[in-house]
Amino acid sequence: MEYTQLGRTGLQVSRLCLGTMNFGPFTSESDSFAVMDHALELGINFFDTANVYGWKKGEGVTEQIIGRWFAQGGGRREKVVLATKVYGGMGDWPNESKLSARHIRRACDESLRRLQTDHIDLYQMHHVDRATPWEEIWQAMQVLIQQGKIIYVGSSNFAGWHIAQANEVAKRRNLLGLVSEQSLYNLTARTIELEVIPACRAYGLGLILWSPLAGGILGGALQKIAEGRRAREQQQKAIAAKRPQLEQYESLCRDLGEKPADVALAWLLRNPVVTAPIVGPRTLEQLTGSLRALELKLDDATLKRLDEIFPGPGGEAPEAYAW
């Protein structure tokens, strides 16, 4: 396994991050335990979750599964850099969602209880809250840091200017500020190249990537359909909309002698701002199969061809759309 620092921090994390969103809804608890144990065997030390995962409001199903796995001992908690998130609705009453200081502090305590741990290594804001001032958010985060309940603060689904705003206010409070951003990024979704990636580079944020395989359509989706594997309706629509591109992409991967999923992950990992794509396996086989991406180096001709198949926004703003 390869490791890198999380943004400008000294924290060492694996170049692949284990996503846990499938734990509970699609992967049983026993299978989830096996996946997490195998991740540690492979050297993956970076686990990402959220208080809303499990999709039963207020229950934090996925966090509970991880907590029971930690409770088995064996150094499991000590080996894991644990990231979870706050923002989503955990109840139907006012102040049971978003980023008020009240909700942040309560949500953190509830996550700690479910995760059966005394601290969260990376506490991420799951979305920007335009109604809450940054001073209030950082006051709450500062209290949690001082209490030893969280160590680092990250963001998710922020725009570039949100990253700048958040870190400038943190700087005035003599805080470390955001150390990471978790964004949607893959060959089919490249909007963050305009401003989020430049903001992360400028402020020293590590970039953690969700949906690196575009919901599976970059993982050899056409081949899987040909083999009779059934996909969800949403995925079927995405495949139909991008079929011409996917045909070219999978042809390129065959020419390279590589699996489409490995090429998609390797394309992300080549970017020096990227800390880790989040791999969300449902099975041990899927987890182990991701390792090839760490070894795969794409040459300039391949990168050029990928840009032709999946054009980005044209580079960084403003040059992407102006002189």
What are the residue numbers of the active site? 53
Neighbours of 258 (CB within 10 A): 18
Integer Cα distance of 42 and 39 in angstroms: 5
On the 0-12 / 13-18 / 19+ scale of CB atoms within 10 A, 95 is: exposed
Instruction: Give me the DSSP letters along 189-256.
Output: B-GGGTTHHHHHHHHT-EEEEE-TTGGGTTTTHHHHHHTT----HHHHHHHHHTHHHHHHHHHHHHHH
Q: What are phi and psi of 20, to 5 degrees?
A: -115, 10
Cα distances from 225 to residues 181, 187, 219, 283, 286, in angstroms, run 34, 20, 11, 19, 17
Integer Cα distance of 231 and 204 in angstroms: 38
